[in-house]
Amino acid sequence: MKQEINPEETNRAVAFELWMKSPMPMVTLTKTLDVTRLYKVSRRRRLKFNMLLCWCIGCAASRIEEFYLLPQNGKLYKYDQMAINVIVDNVMGGLSFCDIAVTNDLEQFNASYLHLTKTISQTCRDILDDEAVIVGTSAVTGTELDSIVNQYSDQFCNPMVMWGRYRKKWRKVTLPISFQFHHAQMDGSHAARFLEELQEVIKTL
């Protein structure tokens, strides 16, 4: 469920006033994560690497209050649910999208991930959750990437986590990721905390 709230009654009042008027309100941080643990769990339990990463993203984001706030069309909304948006190739050669509810239950998230991604791939019909705040993801695994920058406009305000192919060197596996967010939603300190939380979730998976 989402609810419009008065920015003046939140800790985002100043940022909302400054950044809702900006023609380029998005900010991107990049960080290389140690995903060795995630890679090992994926191989040992035969779980999709990207599914595990999406689950970790949801766990980390749900710990930070600002993720539940979202500026849209000059207004600020507060949500009580969160979902991860996943993009998949469909049978028509295009892209389809689905929103997977964030949960602490990995098995439940995995079941939803497999079911929804298979469904949209075959039907070419998006499955979206308008009542949940969405954390977007984009996995460009065709090559190794140092960074990804999405479009900088006020048309897409949701936070977005993006990555390419992971890198294996000796016994360590790393993955550079890009995290893009609307500055009215959060500051750099919140974004940095999210990246630290994400690394911690991965290491304790």
Q: What is the pLDDT of residue 150?
A: 81
Q: What is the pLDDT of residue 37?
A: 97
pLDDT in tens, 6-39: 999 999 999 999 988 888 889 999 999 999 999 9
Token couple for 84? 């991860």
- Relative to beta strand 75-79, strand 2-5 is antiparallel
CATH number for the domain including 153?
A: 3.30.559.10
Is residue 190 situated within a structural domain?
A: yes
Grouping H, G, I as helix, E, B as strand and the rest as coil, residue 42 is helix
pLDDT in tens, 41-90: 999 999 999 999 999 999 999 999 999 999 988 899 999 999 999 999 99
Q: What is the pLDDT of residue 205?
A: 92
Residue 149 has pLDDT above 90, yes or no: no
Is residue 56 situated within a structural domain?
A: yes
Is residue 25 situated within a structural domain?
A: no
Is residue 170 situated within a structural domain?
A: yes
The C-alpha atoms of residue 152 and residue 143 are separated, in whole angstroms, by 23
Sheet-wide strand order for 69-72: 2-5, 75-79, 69-72
Count of domains observed in the chain: 1
Is residue 69 situated within a structural domain?
A: yes
Is residue 186 situated within a structural domain?
A: yes
The C-alpha atoms of residue 62 and residue 165 are separated, in whole angstroms, by 25
Q: What is the pLDDT of residue 153?
A: 65
The boundaries of the domain holding residue 159 are: 39-203
Is residue 31 situated within a structural domain?
A: no
Instruction: Report residue 109's pLDDT band, with 50, 70 and 90 as the boundaries.
Output: very high
Is residue 3 situated within a structural domain?
A: no
Q: What is the pLDDT of residue 204?
A: 95
Most confident option among 6-20, 109-123, 143-157: 109-123
| Bridge partners of residue 161, in order along the sequence | 137, 179
pLDDT in tens, 163-181: 999 999 989 999 999 999 9
Closest C-alpha among 97, 73, 78, 43 to residue 155: 73
